[in-house]
A and B are shown apart, each in its own frame.
Chain A
Amino acid sequence: MQVTITINGESVSRDVEPRQLLVHFIRETPGLTGTHWGCDTSNCGACVVLMDGKPVKACTTLAAMCEGHEIRTVESLEVDGRLDPVQEGFHEKHALHCGFCTPGMLMTSRALLDENPNPTEDEIRTAISGGICRCTGYKNIVAAIRWAAEQEAATRQGA
């Protein structure tokens, strides 16, 4: 079947089987391998992308279900060479080591800050509880998201 999905603002159309999962539809699109395919069982969160602004697990969503919806992947965070504040935060606070969980963590963090610009540590830990990181122990990820929140608050004040 022909499936057309808007990914990072661009319309992507392909003939796929109805059983194709969103994570594979995305990764088979040239230039979009940033979304990781991990546990395949909606546990690890490496495949999280935003669907109409909300984080979803792309391994447990059919591509066909996304026709007519806006998907945003990790590639959309950096714009014209400028990193998104959550990316900067992960860099500043050393919130990754192997990097496998990072795309999902970044998209989950972006969605959290879009909805709640000043989250508490508890709110951050709850928001990222659908992602598994085996390197950091989460401490630096939480610090990175707080860093991004503060950075964005400062930018808003300055604006």
Chain B
Amino acid sequence: MQTPAPFEYERATSVEGAIASLVRQGGGARIIAGGHSLLPMMKLRLATPEYLVDINDLTDLSYIREAGGEIRIGALTRHVDLERSEVLAAHYPVFGDAERVIADPVVRNRGTIGGSLCQADAAEDLSAVCTAANGSAVIRGGEGERIVSMDEFHIGPYMTAVGEGEMLTEVRLPLRHGGGSAHEKVERRAGDWAVAAASAALWIDGGAIADAGVALSAVGPTTVHVSRAEELLRGKPPSEELFAEAGALAAEDCSPIPDGRGPVDYKRHLAGVLTKRALRRAAARALHQEA
């Protein structure tokens, strides 16, 4: 039987209350939402929090809305709601692509975007999605809020910028004209972690790529942000050759390890091919040419 180590449990009734508890309890306290990342880690005793603050009742943290020229997603928004969101389907279809292949529909009923991002598993899809989409994370603590980019958010394997006495409350994505995005993943079986996955976002203006975002899952110690591919893409008209070149950079810039999901050369190959495919689909969506 897999059982988490003992802990104390509290059900939060407000964001302020949850943060006050985190501050009071110190480093041994963790937030729990859907629990589908944290509880498996606790069963394996890879995580041994002494105090859990359950935020499932904080339904004011569950939303997807447009505000201030951005899309704002509450940390408690569940995968199923991201998958079905019309706002995201219109502006960031990369979320729908990713959500359809994250775990399985039963898990997606419970798991949340906040939990996925805070788990910061390199193989986790939404970290790559939010990085490619040039998203930012709102972190709240006793002293107020701060906003960090996804690069600043990911500080290492399973480590984020969310510090002691703080919680992730919101994810923000820029609302910009001419955007298209896509996520491509190869998994061994339904619901498995990625062998490799690529997220891409393109903003096309007047026939040229005004801006680009490319990030990879499962092929490095953390989410791989492929900045070199983004620099290559900016300012050029979208083409198959350009996307292949960007894919080659993604394959070079990742650092997969060999494991049961495949050897290094295969994962590098996948990183390149999936980047190319994601860019191709992102461009078709930006240009409203998707079949």
| Chain A residues engaging chain B, CB cutoff 8 angstroms | 1, 17-19, 21, 40-43, 45, 48, 54-57, 60-62, 64-65, 67, 108, 126-127, 129-131
Task: Say yes or no for B266: interface residue by CB 8 A criterion.
Answer: no
Q: Is the CB of A48 within 8 A of B4?
A: no
| Chain B residues engaging chain A, CB cutoff 8 angstroms | 1-9, 11, 32, 35-36, 39-40, 42-43, 52, 54, 56, 103-107, 109-110, 190-191
B30 CB to nearest chain A CB (Å): 13
Which of A1, A127, A130 counts the most B-chain CB atoms under 10 A from its CB?
A130
Inside 8 A of A64's CB, which chain B residues have their CB?
A: 9, 11, 54
Given A62-B35, A130-B191; A19-B106 close (CB under 8 Å): no
Q: Is the CB of A41 within 8 A of B106?
A: no
Option from A48, A60, A67, A130 in Cβ contact (under 8 Å) with B40? A60
B271 CB to nearest chain A CB (Å): 25
Q: Is the CB of B191 within 8 A of A43?
A: yes
B213 CB to nearest chain A CB (Å): 28
B110 — nearest CB in chain A belongs to which residue? A56
B258 CB to nearest chain A CB (Å): 23
Q: Is the CB of A18 within 8 A of B1?
A: no
Given A57-B110, A64-B54; A42-B9 close (CB under 8 Å): no
Q: Is the CB of A65 within 8 A of B56?
A: yes
Inside 8 A of B52's CB, which chain A residues have their CB?
A: 18
Inter-chain pairs besides A18-B7, A67-B11, 4 sampled, C-beta below 8 Å: A62-B39, A65-B35, A126-B105, A130-B106
| A48 to B104 CA separation, bound complex (whole angstroms) | 12
Option from B9, B11, B104 in Cβ contact (under 8 Å) with A130? B104
| A156 to B181 CA separation, bound complex (whole angstroms) | 42
Option from B42, B109, B191 in Cβ contact (under 8 Å) with A56? B109
B245 CB to nearest chain A CB (Å): 35
Option from B2, B32, B104 in Cβ contact (under 8 Å) with A129? B104
Inside 8 A of B107's CB, which chain A residues have their CB?
A: 42, 57, 60, 130
| A65 to B35 CA separation, bound complex (whole angstroms) | 10
Inside 8 A of A18's CB, which chain B residues have their CB?
A: 6-9, 52
A107 CB to nearest chain B CB (Å): 9
A40 CB to nearest chain B CB (Å): 5
Inside 8 A of B39's CB, which chain A residues have their CB?
A: 21, 60-62
Ordered by A's residue number, 13 sampled pairs between the chains whose C-beta atoms are within 8 Å are: A19-B6, A19-B42, A41-B43, A42-B36, A42-B103, A55-B105, A56-B109, A56-B110, A57-B107, A65-B35, A65-B54, A130-B104, A130-B105
| A65 to B3 CA separation, bound complex (whole angstroms) | 16
Q: Is the CB of B110 within 8 A of A60?
A: yes
| A61 to B106 CA separation, bound complex (whole angstroms) | 12
| A127 to B80 CA separation, bound complex (whole angstroms) | 12
A44 CB to nearest chain B CB (Å): 10
Option from A19, A42, A57, A67 in Cβ contact (under 8 Å) with B4? A19
B166 CB to nearest chain A CB (Å): 22
| A131 to B103 CA separation, bound complex (whole angstroms) | 11
Inside 8 A of A42's CB, which chain B residues have their CB?
A: 36, 40, 103, 107
Given A48-B106, A64-B9, A129-B105; A41-B2 close (CB under 8 Å): yes
| A57 to B39 CA separation, bound complex (whole angstroms) | 12
